[in-house]
């Protein structure tokens, strides 16, 4: 999952191309009112739209992966917290047993002294 996410994030070339194409399209839109739109310009706008769709799909997939990663990490942390709580309970129990053992040793010594 992390590999797939890093690939999506690292693949910034199409995103840079999207920005460049968007800038070109905006410039063409400003000049388009003076002259009729050519087929070439229309093709560029379609490519821009498709590039945006791909970028949006990539962003959606990245968001989905991040959400899944966060969910997995949350479950892992909850499991860790549960294990830690169990260990703390065991430690408390061991401390009580040690204390009881010490008390018995003291009682045994007292009996032997009498």
Q: What percent of the chain has pLDDT over 90?
A: 34
- Which helix (H) or strand (E) segment is 35 a member of? none
Torsion sign over Cα 101, 106, 111, 113: positive
> What pTM did the predictor assign?
0.46
Residue boundaries of the structural domains of the chain: 2-113
Around 38, how many Cα atoms within 13 Å sit in the side-chain half-sphere? Answer: 7
Banded pLDDT at 34 (limits 50, 70, 90): very low
For residue 48, is pLDDT > 50? yes
pLDDT tens figures, 81-93: 999 999 999 999 9
Residue with tokens 């949350």: 74
């Amino acid at each position: 999952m992390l590999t797939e996410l890093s690939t999506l994030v690292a693949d910034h070339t199409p995103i840079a191309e999207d920005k460049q194409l968007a800038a070109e399209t905006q410039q063409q839109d400003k000049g388009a009112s003076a002259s009729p739109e050519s087929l070439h310009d229309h093709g560029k706008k379609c490519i821009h739209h498709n590039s945006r769709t791909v970028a949006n799909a990539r962003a959606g997939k990245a968001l989905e992966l991040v959400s899944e990663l966060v969910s997995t990490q949350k479950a892992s942390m909850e499991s860790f917290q549960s294990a830690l709580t169990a260990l703390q309970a065991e430690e408390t129990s061991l401390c009580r047993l040690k204390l009881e053992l010490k008390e018995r040793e003291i009682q045994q010594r007292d009996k032997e002294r009498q």
